[in-house]
Amino acid sequence: MSSGRSYIKAAYDAIFQNDFQKAIELFKQAIRCEPNNASYYYRLSITYDRSGFMKKAIETAKKACELEPENQGYRYHLQILQSKNLVYVAADLMRHNIFTKEIKEILIQAKKLDPLNIGAYLLLGIFYGETNALHLSLKEFNSVFYIQPYHLQAKQLKEYYLNLYQEGD
């Protein structure tokens, strides 16, 4: 029987070969060997996230936090995943021209969970722009510039909403 460490090493080898599905299976094998090893769940969570399996990424990140509740790195990782997921949910609803108070709250929560989640700021800026709150829209786009001073999409969106409102005068 192999040890959890040997499966972890093999999982990283698979990642370097761009075989993420194999890496996921190897991380699961490591967990079977050492089911109380929080770092294995954390690593699996990262691989799930990078492979587009957000629900599984959040589940395994939660498990890592349960096993080591004092580990700030695991808690921060979970918050980032939760924030990212909230942005996905809001983006999907906004694509369908849904602009409700609940979407605004979702995006505000995403920003609280991960203050560096640029997607949350951009979508909230769009939300405010589409709901006729230009000053709040511009505030969100300007917030992006504190994180990434030359963010092209934020610049373009800010200009778009400024022009839209100037044309409306």
pLDDT tens, position by position, for the chain (169 residues)?
468 999 999 999 999 999 999 999 999 999 999 999 999 999 999 999 999 999 999 999 999 999 999 999 999 999 999 999 999 999 999 999 999 999 999 999 999 999 999 999 999 999 999 999 999 999 999 999 999 999 999 999 999 999 988 876 5
Alpha-carbon gap, residue 23 to 20, rounded angstroms: 5
* Domain with 152 in it: 71-169
- Residue 166 has a pLDDT of 85
Whether residue 84 is found in the same domain as residue 12: no
20 neighbors 47 (Cβ within 8 angstroms): yes
Same domain, 163 and 83: yes
Residue 112 has φ and ψ, to the nearest 5°, of: -65, -40
- Confidence at residue 115, expressed as pLDDT on a 0 to 100 scale: 97
Of 70, 99, 119, the domain-final residue: 70
CATH code of 39's domain? 1.25.40.10
User: Do 151 and 94 belong to one domain?
Assistant: yes
Assess contact for 146 and 114: CB atoms under 8 A: no
First to last CA, the chain: 73
Whole-number Å distance between alpha carbons of 51 and 48: 5
Same domain membership, residue 45 and residue 75: no
